[in-house]
Protein backbone atom coordinates (compact mmCIF):
# COMPACT_ATOMS: atom_id res chain seq x y z
CA UNK A 1 0.00 0.00 0.00
CA UNK A 2 1.71 3.15 -1.19
CA UNK A 3 1.36 6.40 0.73
CA UNK A 4 0.36 9.30 -1.48
CA UNK A 5 1.05 12.99 -0.95
CA UNK A 6 -2.66 13.30 -0.18
CA UNK A 7 -2.26 10.83 2.70
CA UNK A 8 0.68 12.86 3.97
CA UNK A 9 -1.39 16.05 3.91
CA UNK A 10 -4.14 14.30 5.88
CA UNK A 11 -1.75 12.91 8.50
CA UNK A 12 -0.08 16.31 8.79
CA UNK A 13 -3.44 17.95 9.39
CA UNK A 14 -4.35 15.45 12.12
CA UNK A 15 -0.96 16.00 13.71
CA UNK A 16 -1.27 19.80 13.50
CA UNK A 17 1.86 20.00 11.32
CA UNK A 18 2.42 22.46 8.51
CA UNK A 19 4.38 20.91 5.65
CA UNK A 20 5.61 22.52 2.45
CA UNK A 21 4.86 20.59 -0.73
CA UNK A 22 8.58 19.63 -0.98
CA UNK A 23 8.41 18.21 2.53
CA UNK A 24 5.23 16.30 1.66
CA UNK A 25 7.02 14.64 -1.27
CA UNK A 26 10.02 13.86 0.90
CA UNK A 27 7.92 12.31 3.72
CA UNK A 28 5.85 10.29 1.28
CA UNK A 29 9.13 8.81 0.01
CA UNK A 30 10.52 7.98 3.45
CA UNK A 31 7.26 6.57 4.78
CA UNK A 32 6.88 4.38 1.70
CA UNK A 33 10.36 2.95 2.13
CA UNK A 34 9.60 2.11 5.77
CA UNK A 35 6.36 0.42 4.77
CA UNK A 36 8.11 -1.53 1.99
CA UNK A 37 10.69 -2.69 4.49
CA UNK A 38 8.05 -3.81 6.98
CA UNK A 39 6.15 -5.54 4.18
CA UNK A 40 8.85 -8.22 4.14
CA UNK A 41 7.29 -9.49 7.37
CA UNK A 42 4.13 -10.31 5.48
CA UNK A 43 6.06 -13.11 3.77
CA UNK A 44 6.37 -15.03 7.04
CA UNK A 45 3.78 -17.55 8.12
CA UNK A 46 2.49 -16.23 11.45
CA UNK A 47 -0.55 -18.46 11.82
CA UNK A 48 -0.40 -19.99 15.30
CA UNK A 49 1.70 -17.12 16.66
CA UNK A 50 -0.07 -15.15 19.39
CA UNK A 51 -0.24 -11.44 18.50
CA UNK A 52 2.42 -9.39 20.26
CA UNK A 53 1.00 -6.98 22.81
CA UNK A 54 4.36 -5.62 23.88
CA UNK A 55 7.95 -6.07 22.78
CA UNK A 56 9.13 -6.76 26.34
CA UNK A 57 8.36 -10.14 27.86
CA UNK A 58 6.76 -8.44 30.83
CA UNK A 59 3.25 -8.34 32.21
CA UNK A 60 1.38 -6.99 35.26
CA UNK A 61 3.65 -4.14 36.27
CA UNK A 62 1.57 -2.35 38.88
CA UNK A 63 1.70 0.23 41.62
CA UNK A 64 -0.38 0.04 44.78
CA UNK A 65 -3.17 2.60 45.19
CA UNK A 66 -1.19 4.94 47.42
CA UNK A 67 -1.23 8.75 47.26
CA UNK A 68 2.05 10.64 47.16
CA UNK A 69 2.45 14.40 46.78
CA UNK A 70 3.29 15.54 43.26
CA UNK A 71 4.47 18.96 42.16
CA UNK A 72 3.61 22.23 43.83
CA UNK A 73 1.57 24.47 41.58
CA UNK A 74 4.51 26.82 41.10
CA UNK A 75 6.70 23.93 39.97
CA UNK A 76 3.95 22.60 37.70
CA UNK A 77 3.49 25.95 35.96
CA UNK A 78 7.16 26.95 35.90
CA UNK A 79 7.92 25.96 32.31
CA UNK A 80 4.58 27.00 30.83
CA UNK A 81 5.06 29.46 27.97
CA UNK A 82 1.87 31.23 29.00
CA UNK A 83 0.15 31.15 32.38
CA UNK A 84 -2.12 32.88 34.84
CA UNK A 85 -1.58 32.88 38.58
CA UNK A 86 -3.21 29.46 39.01
CA UNK A 87 -3.33 27.85 35.58
CA UNK A 88 -1.80 27.23 32.24
CA UNK A 89 -3.17 29.60 29.64
CA UNK A 90 -4.11 28.39 26.17
CA UNK A 91 -5.97 29.91 23.24
CA UNK A 92 -9.64 29.13 23.40
CA UNK A 93 -10.63 26.31 21.09
CA UNK A 94 -14.18 25.74 19.91
Partner 1 sequence: MARYETVIGLEFHAELKTKSKLFCPCPTEFGGEPNTHVCPVCLGLPGVLPVLNKHAVELAVKAGLALNCDIQRVSKFDRKNYFYPDLPKAYQVTQFALPICRDGYVNISGKQIRINRIHLEEDAGKLIHSGESILDSGFSMPDYNRAAVPLIEIVTEPDIRSAQEARELAERLKSLLEYAGVSDVRMEQGSLRCDVNISLRPEGQTEFGIRAEIKNLNSFRAIERAIEYEEKRQAAILDEGGRVIQETRTWDDGKGITLSMRSKENAHDYRYFPEPDLVPTVIDDIWMNEIRQSLPEMPEARKHRLMTECGLSEYDTNRIVETPMLAFFFDEVIEAGADAKLTANWILGDISRLLTGNEDKLPIKASDLAVLIEQVKSGAINHSSGKLVLEEMFMHGGCPLEIIKTRGFAQISDASALQEAVLKVVEANPEPVADYKAGKKKAMGFLLGQIMKATGGQANPQMVREMLEKALDA
Binding residues (CB under 8 A) for partner 1: these are 10, 13-14, 16, 53-56, 58-68, 70-73, 76-77, 84, 86-94
Listed in sequence order, the residues at least 6 apart from 5 whose beta carbon sits closer than 8 Å to its beta carbon are 21, 24, 25, 28
- Least distance (Å) between residue 23 CB and partner 1: 20
Quote the least distance from Cβ 12 to partner 1, whole Å: 11
How far apart CA 74 and CA 94 sit, in angstroms, is: 28
Integer-rounded Cα Rg, in Å, for the chain is 22
Question: Least Å distance between CB 85 and partner 1?
Answer: 10
Q: Which does 61 bind (CB under 5 to 8 A by kind): Zn ion, partner 1, none?
A: partner 1
Residues numbered 63 to 92 that lie near Zn ion (CB under 5 A) are 70
Q: Which of 49, 46, 34, 43 is nearest to 2 (CA)?
A: 34
The binding site for Zn ion (CB under 5 A) comprises 70
Amino acid sequence: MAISEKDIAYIAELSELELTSEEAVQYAGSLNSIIDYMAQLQELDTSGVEPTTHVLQLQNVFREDVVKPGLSREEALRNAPNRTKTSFKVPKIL
